[in-house]
Amino acid sequence: MREEERIMKGMLFSPADPELKDIKRKAHHLSQRYSQTFEEQTEERQQIVQQLLGEIGEGGFMQGPIFFHYGVHTRIGHHFFANYNLTIQDDTQVTIGDYTSFGPNVTIVTPVHPLIASERRQMLNQHGELKSLCYAKPVTIGNDVWLSANVTVCGGVTIGDGCVIGAGSVVTRDIPPHSLAAGVPCRVIRSITEADSMRHYPDILADCQVPE
């Protein structure tokens, strides 16, 4: 079994595997190239992203700089927005829905390392060889989600549709749809309801309108 297959099955794998290193090296180079472009270089950015990611929908924008660890393990829907310093350590699958937006310095991390120090150093792999091993848990983020500045999402987490995650939060557990959640660790504060509509804030709404 290839190491990438082991990743997707949630099994221990060797990050130093030559095939995995090739995938990561390509992603790192493409991330660097994207980060060195200017915003008006839309065609070049689009070409880089198509090579970098497993999938990305229409109408997306990533401010840059960006960093993807594997790239090909990330799938992003339509009309995605990411402010600067987006980091996605996608050792395993990361799925992001439509109309989802990230503030600056958002980080998604999927790898998990053993808690016992000696096991973090080395364990015997499937061939009986001493290797540094870890495993990874997928992350799923739904549609219409807003992650505020400096949010970290840990492996194994699902964030439901319509959620807002407060600035500086560390998300370690699932967040149900249409929740306002924040904190370290992140916890649900309350549901988001019609009472949160900008219609109820006329001073802020000013001469703007909420579409019917």
Residues annotated catalytic, as ranges:
113
Structure-block tokens of residue 53: 């990611």
Cβ-contact 57, 80 below 8 angstroms: yes
105/148 Cα distance (integer angstroms) = 9
Token pair of 21 as six digits: 């290193």
Q: What span, in angstroms and rounded, lies between the C-alpha atoms of 14 and 95?
A: 23
